[in-house]
Every structure is written in structure tokens, then in C-alpha cells.
Amino acid sequence: MGKKRRHEEEAAAAAAAAAGAGAAPPSSSKKDKKKHKEKKQKRKHKEHARSSGSDSDSSRSTGERAPAAAAAAAAAAAPPPPGRRVPVAVSVARESDAPADACAPYVAYFANGRLPGYANAPASSSGGGGGGGGGGGGGGGGWDFQVFETPGPAPQRALVSERGVATLIGRPADPELSSPGAQYALGVFDPVARTLQLVRAQGGQLARVEAHVNGVNYGQPAGAAHADADAQAALDADVKSRRGMATRLVEAFGSTRRRRQLKAREDGIVRADRLLSADAAEAALARVNATAAQEAGTREQVLARVAAHRNIPPHHLDATEPHKAYPLREMVPEQCLASVNLGQLLHAAEKAEVLDKIVERKLLPQYVLSRLPLLRAAADEKERKAKARMLALLAALLQLVAQPNALRVPEGGPEELARKLHIGRREVLEPLLELFYHRSSEEGRESWLRDGAKRELQVGYALVLALDAEGWVLAAPQFEELAAQLRMALPDVAQRFRELGCVCTPVKGPDFREGRSYTASLLQPAARGGGAPKTLAECLPKPKGPPKARGR
């Protein structure tokens, strides 16, 4: 009867609870389950309390149980008691708006969420360094991090830790590492003291740590290094090709000044194949020093060696007569002297129609045509042929002096080049080319190149031949005509004559174009003043040494 009575009371309590709820909306399934669980626990408590009560309680009437059922229904309708809460003291080590300092910890995370697999090897040391905490390396010890700061108006800090084949790099200053307006802190909970300490992270940001394999360039995408090398090689080849084409164009059509500039620029380029090693350079300097010590001499000896290498035609310094000082057969090869065209000049001196034809076709320089009276005034046939030979050779030299420094050999070869220059014969042209030019072959075409020193020597040859044809005394009108033929100023021609050992005297007169001219003579008795004959060495100008230092 007791159990039946308890079931009836529980049913009555449930009915009363439903009546008290009234028109309240039904709860969701989760709330129903929670209430059912709470009711089940209450029933267990009530059964335990009733089992320990007296038998008089169980014999109460139905009228007495009604108030108890109403009280139970009211208790069931009341909200459940709150859960058990434990108080925890929270202390903030640094406020969120406080400036960062070196003592604030760095909080970092790995980009892939964990340490790389190759970083899990045991480490010999652990802990943070340089103001930053060391991150754990799974399975092994911690990583030693150092903080590096880049200089500048907005310095940035980076965390770097290197171990083995990998380097961990964290950059807390990157803006993409944190959410806008977020402040990050590091919390340390003490379970014994029930306290939580919060410390603001360095800079209020998280450091994104990435693992970099040592020896790999992460600054450029894969394959960029090979692409850059190929592009550089192609650029070098293109620059080399363009320089070669520019050099060929300058040699073919450029002026003397442009070719000289190009050569100086090419010589000034420092190339690896031109550099000596340190040992070889020291050995070369030692040899030069030893040679200089052996060949050292007085100032007079050095000047004498300089004078022995003058840029003038072959000569004899001890000669006292002009034809011995500059012998013609030593100046020009015998083949050239024997091949000159004497008949052209001899016929021009005798026949006016031949002379008119030569003048019309410009076969001979104007200065040579003006000296044809020398052939008519010759004493005998031998002297006449000798002067004709000198004038023919002088004509060939004057034709070459007037040409540019680069002579391109035409398709017809040297014969066609000789006809083009009005020299006439190949046997006369080739010895002169060998004497004043150097051969060059490029792109299958032959050319002859002449530098400045060789041109000055060529002018010296022409002056000696002009003097020889005049009997080693050149009058003022002929001096002026020769300067006009060479396209040189009168003082420059006089200076060249003096370099040959001649005596040049200025002459004034209204018949000259510039109002003055010069006379030139070599080793003449009148210039000696009746004294002992001078040698060519005494007539040549003395080489000038370095200027002497002036004292105070």
C-alpha cells in the first residue's frame, strides 16, 4: 500500500505542476530533458527521506497529503539553483595601452601550426635569448631565439633561431599577423594560488614564425636564378656582338680621332684574362726594376738615347754633306727607285700637249708640276734622270700623304689601287705601303692603316726629297707651294724642317700669300760662317728633358 500511495502522490504533483504552468508554451527538447533529469534526482532524494521516516507518516490520510503535494509542485516550478563557482584572482602585469618595452614577451605561432619535422631533433640548450622567449621544439629541447632590429625611421624586429639545416624567422611587425584593433596577451594560471596573471605581448601582436631551409634563396621564385643567368648570358652576347659591329663600322668609315678614342676605350677595359696574379705581377716589377737599374744613366745619356730614336728618315749623324746625311738609296728600297715612271715627267717637261693632259686628268700633284723646270735646266742626261726620279718618287709620296689613314684595297688588288692613286705601278706602291702602313684584314677585305707617327715620317720623307731635288736649298716661293700642297701652316712646315736638321729663315715680301715665307737649307757652307763643317748631329735639335724645379 505504501508504494501505491507514493505513485499516486507523484502523479498528483505532476498534474499540479502542469496546472500551475497554465498556458505556458511548451519547452524545447533540451529543456525537457534537463527538467526530467532534475525531477528524477528529486524523486531519489524524496524516496531516501521517506524510507528513513516513521510508520505514522505513511498512515496519514489523503486530506493531509494534499498540502504536501502542493508544496512539492511549487518547488518543482521554481528555477534550479546555480552551478558551483570558484573565485579566481586576476592580476594584470601591464595595461593594454602601456608602451611596449624589452621585457615584454614575444608570442609567436608557426605558420603550419606546428614545428617542422626536421626541427624535432634534440637540442643542446633551450630557452629564449635576446629578449624573446624560446619556443618548444617537440621531442627535443627549446629553440634559442634572438631579436634583430632593422634601423630606420620605423624600425622592425625579427625573431631568428638557427639550428641544424633550418632557420626559424618570425616577424611580429607585419600587419597581416593580427586582426585590426586586437591586443594579444600571455596568461599564466597558478592552480595552487588560484590566480591568473596577464602580460601584454610584445607590440600587442603575434609573431608568425616560418621555417627556412639554409642555402635556399626565398627571395625569388623557383627557376628565377636560371632564368636570370640565361638572360644575362644573352645580354652579354648581344653587347659583345654590338661592340664588334661598332668597331668594324668605325674602322671602315670613322675618322682618325674616332678610331683613336675607340682604341683607347678598348684598351681601358679591365678584363680577367689580362690581369696577372700577384706573384706574376711582383716578378714582372722586379724584372723592370732590375732592367732600369742596369740601364740607368745620366741625364745626358738618357737624352742621347732619345735622340737616337728620332722619327725622321734614315740618316747619318756624322755626315757633313747633305746627300750623305740622307742617302736616297737607304731611304727607299731599290725596287721602288727602279720602278718609278721617269718617262711621264720627262715627256711632260718636253711636250706641252703631254703636260696639258696630265694637268687635265690631275695625274701629278701641283707642286711636282711646278718643279718641271728643274728637268729642263739639268746640266746633263744623268742629272736630268736623277731629278726626274726624285720628283716621281715625291709625287707618289704626296699622293699618299693626301689620302686618309685607312686605304681599302679594291677588288682589283694592288694594281687597281695604284691606278686609283695615280702612282701607276704596283712595284712603286707596295714598298711605300710597307714603309708607312700596316696591313689589316677584316671580313675578307684587305686594308692598309696608318697611324699619326707614320704620317709624320711620311711628311719627313717628302721634305727631304723636295730639298734634294732643289740642291738642298729650298727658296721661299717653293717653300710656300710645298706647304700648300701638304695643307700645313708655314710655321709647322718650318718646324718639321728644323727637326730634320735644316736651317729655316723667315722671309717677308708682298709676293707671298701670308706676307711672309721661309727658306730652308741643310748643311750649306754659307750657314757655317766659314768655320769648321758641322755634322748632322750638331744641326739636329736637342731633345728637351723634364723642366727643372724652380727654387724659392
Whether residue 200 contacts residue 182, with contact meaning beta carbons closer than 8 Å, is answered with: no
Are residues 533 and 467 part of one domain?
Answer: yes
pTM to 2 decimals? 0.47
In whole angstroms, what is the distance from residue 494 CA to residue 519 CA?
9
Residues 447 and 388 occupy one common structural domain: yes
Residue at a domain's end among 191, 213, 235 = 213
Q: Is residue 83 included in any domain, yes or no?
A: no
Tell me: do 93 and 72 sit in the same domain: no
* DSSP, res 78: S
Do 3 and 137 lie in one domain? The reply is no
Taking the C-alpha atoms of residue 323 and residue 315, their distance in angstroms, rounded to an integer, is 10
Torsion over CA of 497, 546, 534 and 472, rounded to 10 degrees?
Answer: -10
Residues near 70 by Cβ (< 8 Å), separated by ≥ 6?
Answer: 16
Q: Could you give the 3-state DSSP secondary structure of residue 530? A: coil
Asked whether residue 423 falls in the same domain as residue 326, the answer is: yes
Same domain, 141 and 6: no
pLDDT in the model for residue 20:
44
Cα 199 from Cα 186, distance rounded (Å) = 5
163/185 Cα distance (integer angstroms): 28
Of the candidates 302, 319, 328, the one whose C-alpha atom is nearest the C-alpha of residue 540 is 319
| pLDDT tens for the chain, residues 1 to 552 | 455 555 566 655 555 444 444 444 444 456 666 777 777 777 766 665 555 544 444 444 444 444 444 444 444 444 544 444 445 454 444 444 445 455 677 777 776 666 655 544 444 333 333 333 444 444 445 677 888 877 766 677 788 888 777 788 887 655 555 566 677 788 888 888 888 888 887 777 777 888 877 777 666 555 565 667 778 888 888 888 888 888 888 888 888 888 888 888 877 776 666 666 677 778 888 887 777 666 666 556 555 565 556 888 998 888 899 999 999 888 988 888 888 888 888 888 888 888 888 888 888 899 999 999 988 888 888 888 889 999 999 999 999 999 998 888 888 888 888 888 888 788 888 889 988 998 888 766 788 888 888 999 999 999 999 999 999 999 999 999 999 999 999 999 999 999 999 999 999 888 888 788 999 999 887 555 556 778 888 888 876 655 555 554
Pairing of strands 185-190, 195-200: antiparallel
DSSP codes of every residue in 471-519: TSEE-HHHHHHHHHHHT--HHHHHHHHHHTT-EEEEEE-TTSTTSEEEE
Asked if residue 173 belongs to a domain, the reply is yes
Q: How many domains does the chain have?
A: 3
Distance CA 201, CA 187 (A): 10
- The whole-angstrom separation of Cα 509 and Cα 521 is 19
Q: Are residues 179 and 67 in the same domain?
A: no
Residue in 192, 131, 181, 134 with CA at minimum distance from that of residue 162: 134
Q: What angle do CA 489, 495, 497 make, to 5 degrees?
A: 105
Alpha-carbon torsion, ordered 329, 332, 337, 343, to 10 deg: -120
pLDDT at residue 127, rounded to an integer? 37
In a domain, 418, yes or no: yes
Domain span including residue 395: 322-539
Q: Which amino acid appears at position 329 of this protein?
A: R
Quote the CA–CA distance of 340 and 386 in Å, as a whole number. Answer: 11
Residues 117 and 44 both lie in one domain: no
* Residues 9, 142 within the same domain: no
Q: Are residues 360 and 443 in the same domain?
A: yes
The Cα 251–Cα 404 span in angstroms is 12
Residue 274: inside a domain: no
In a domain, 251, yes or no: no
| Backbone torsions φ then ψ of 332, nearest 5 degrees | -120, 140
Domain final residue, candidates 161, 182, 213: 213
Whether residue 236 lies inside any domain: the answer is no
Q: Which of 156, 186, 213 finishes a domain? A: 213
Range list of H helices, 342-489: 342-350, 352-361, 366-370, 373-376, 381-401, 414-420, 426-436, 452-469, 476-486
Classify residue 401: in a domain, yes or no.
yes
Does 338 share its domain with 423?
A: yes
Residue 249 resides in a domain: no
Do 196 and 336 have their domain in common? no
Task: Judge whether 520 and 470 are in contact, CB under 8 Å.
Answer: no
